[in-house]
Amino acid sequence: MALKQPESMDECIYFTQRSLENGKGSVRVWVFKQACPECRKAIMGKPRDKKGKVRVRAKEYVCPGCGYTLEKKAYEESSTANAEYTCPACGHSGEAQAPFKRKSIEGIPTLRFQCSKCKANIDVTKKLKEKKKGKGGVQDEDI
């Protein structure tokens, strides 16, 4: 099941490459832009301002061909995330696909993939977010 690799970041709405669990594993995740559901001719992207620059924090995606607009959340949740990983639990290298819909795991928006060999969870959190270490109380690092 060889996944199609992106040739440039212009093809993707999301891309990340990270090490997992102190270097025991790694994951690379990407999500391709989709064709317009109306005209099926152009690839949808974020809107551009008058100077031609992309509006980074836009709340919608727009088709440059027909002008069709789709809300950001609906567009991203209909996309598929592709992952190439090395499992930190068993060392198996593989590929996986999952809907590009982040679930709240331990209070952090997370994309979750499973190792095809040992079924261990491979979590990709939003950047700069860390899992909570426990339920309240003093942490080991606080002492």
* Residues 103-123 pLDDT 10s: 998 888 899 999 999 999 999
The rounded radius of gyration (Å) of the Cα atoms in the chain is 18
pLDDT tens for 72-112 read 999 988 999 999 999 998 989 999 999 999 899 888 889 99
Neighbours of 36 (CB within 10 A): 19
How far apart are the C-alpha atoms of 11 and 30, rounded to whole Å? 9
Q: Where are the domains of the chain?
A: 20-32+79-129, 35-78
pLDDT digits (tens, 9 = 90+) for 34-84: 999 888 889 998 988 888 888 888 899 999 888 899 999 999 889 999 999
